[in-house]
C-alpha cells in the first residue's frame, strides 16, 4: 500500500517535467563522427593502473583489429599505488588526446579507480569543439557522466581496450559506434515491472553514480532510461546505494531502469551473515517501489559478453519483451 501511494505521487509530479527534459536532451546530444579505417585512437588510463606491458599490447592489438591506429598515452603504463600514475600524469594523457585533432577516438585501457579525481580539470572545451568517440566502463562512468553534462555528446559504455573481446562484445561495440542498434533482446533478463518507456540513456557503475550525486558532474536523471551494474559489492551495499539514489530523489525521475550484471558478490560480510537477502529480492523491491518499467540481467557490466551502450542516445525499454532498443 505504501508503494502504491509513492508511485501515484511520482506520476503526478514528475511525468510532464521528465518528458520536457527528455525532449531537450534529445535536441542537445550529438554523436561523434564514426572513426574510419586508419583513425588514430588514443589509449589512456585515467583511473587504475594496467598490470603491465601485456595489457598495453592487447589494447593495441584490439585497436588494430578494428582497423584503427593505436596511440598509447605517454603515461599509460605509469603506476602510483592503485592509480595509473599521479593525477597530473593521467590528466595530461587524457587532455592531450582531447585536444589533439589528429586523434579521432579515445579508448580507456582499464577502469579501476581514479577518474573522479580528474573531473574538475578535464579539457571539456576541446571535446565540445571536436566531439570524438570515447569508450570505457566501470570507473570510467565518472567521465561518461561529465562528458554528457558538460559537452552534450554521446559516449560509449563498452569494453576497455585491454579486454579480451568476445564475438558478442565486438559486434555490439562496432554496431554502437556505427550508430546502429547495439543492444536488443536480453535473453537472460527478468521482467521486474512491466511496461514500455522511451528516454535518453544514462548509467554505468552503480557506486560511481552514487558518488557523483550532488556534484556538478552527475547525469541528468529526468526522463532517463537508467542502466546500472557493479562488481564486488555485497547485497546490503547494493541495497544501500539504491536506497541512497531514492532518498536523493534520483531514481524517481527515471522513466525506466535496466539492471545489468552484479558480479563477484561477497557473501561473507557480517551483515550478510545476520540474515541473507538475495540480490533478486533487492532489485525486485526497488522496481516495485518505483513503479516504472524495469528488468534485471541485461548483458552490461564486468562480464565477457557485454553490450556497448551509447550513453546519451535515445532508447526504448520494453520490459515485458525484455528488450532495449537504440532509437538514435
User: How far from chain centre, in Å, is Cα 162?
Assistant: 17
SS3 220: coil
Residue 103 bridge partners (DSSP): 40
Burial pattern 156-195, b for ≥16 Cβ within 10 A else e, equals bbbbbbbbebeeebbebbebbbeeebbbeebeebbbbbee
Answer yes or no: are the C-beta atoms of 166 and 137 closer than 8 Å: no
**Among candidates 113, 107, 127, 145, which has minimal Cα distance to 227?**
145
How many angstroms separate the CA atoms of 66 and 39, rounded? 10
Residue of 60, 75, 126, 138 with catalytic role = 138
Question: Known catalytic residue: 302?
Answer: yes
Residue of 256, 271, 274 lying closest to 315 (CA atoms): 256
Helix (H) and strand (E) counts in the chain: 10, 14
Q: How far is CA 221 from CA 11, 24, 152, 209, 227, in A?
A: 15, 13, 14, 11, 11
- In angstroms, the CA 239 to CA 235 distance is 6
3-state secondary structure of 200: strand
Please confirm, yes or no, whether 24 is among the known catalytic residues: no
- Catalytically annotated residue among 126, 144, 193, 229: 229
Q: List, by residue number, the catalytic residues.
A: 138, 229, 302
Amino acid at each position: 500500500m505504501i508503494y502504491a501511494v509513492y508511485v501515484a505521487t511520482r506520476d503526478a509530479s514528475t511525468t510532464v517535467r521528465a518528458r520536457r527534459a527528455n525532449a531537450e536532451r534529445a535536441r542537445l546530444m550529438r554523436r561523434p563522427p564514426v572513426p574510419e579505417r586508419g583513425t588514430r585512437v588514443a589509449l589512456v588510463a585515467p583511473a587504475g593502473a594496467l598490470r603491465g606491458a601485456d595489457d598495453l599490447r592487447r589494447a593495441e592489438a584490439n585497436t588494430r583489429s578494428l582497423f584503427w591506429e593505436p596511440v598509447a598515452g605517454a603515461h599509460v603504463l605509469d603506476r602510483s599505488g592503485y592509480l595509473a600514475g599521479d593525477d597530473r600524469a593521467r590528466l595530461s594523457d587524457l587532455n592531450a588526446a582531447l585536444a589533439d585533432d589528429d586523434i579521432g577516438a579515445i579508448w580507456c585501457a582499464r577502469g579501476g579507480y581514479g577518474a573522479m579525481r580528474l573531473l574538475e580539470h578535464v579539457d571539456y572545451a576541446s571535446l565540445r569543439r571536436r566531439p570524438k568517440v570515447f569508450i570505457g566502463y566501470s570507473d570510467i562512468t565518472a567521465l561518461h557522466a561529465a562528458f554528457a553534462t558538460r559537452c552534450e555528446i554521446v559516449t560509449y559504455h563498452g569494453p576497455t581496450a585491454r579486454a579480451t573481446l568476445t564475438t558478442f562484445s565486438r559486434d555490439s561495440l562496432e554496431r554502437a559506434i556505427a550508430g546502429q542498434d547495439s543492444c536488443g533482446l536480453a535473453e537472460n533478463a527478468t521482467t521486474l515491472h512491466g511496461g514500455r518507456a522511451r528516454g535518453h540513456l544514462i548509467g554505468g557503475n552503480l557506486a560511481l553514480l552514487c558518488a557523483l550525486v550532488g556534484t556538478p558532474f552527475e547525469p541528468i536523471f529526468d526522463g532517463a532510461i537508467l542502466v546500472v551494474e557493479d562488481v564486488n559489492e555485497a547485497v546490503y551495499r547494493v541495497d544501500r546505494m539504491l536506497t541512497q539514489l531514492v532518498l536523493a530523489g534520483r531514481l524517481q525521475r527515471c522513466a525506466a531502469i535496466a539492471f545489468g550484471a552484479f558480479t563477484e558478490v561477497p557473501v561473507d560480510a557480517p551483515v550478510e551473515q545476520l540474515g541473507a537477502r538475495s540480490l533478486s529480492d533487492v532489485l525486485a523491491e526497488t522496481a516495485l517501489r518505483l513503479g516504472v518499467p524495469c528488468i534485471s540481467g541485461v548483458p552490461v557490466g564486468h562480464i565477457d559478453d557485454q553490450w556497448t551502450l551509447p550513453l546519451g542516445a535515445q532508447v526504448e525499454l520494453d520490459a515485458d519483451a525484455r528488450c532495449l532498443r537504440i532509437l538514435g
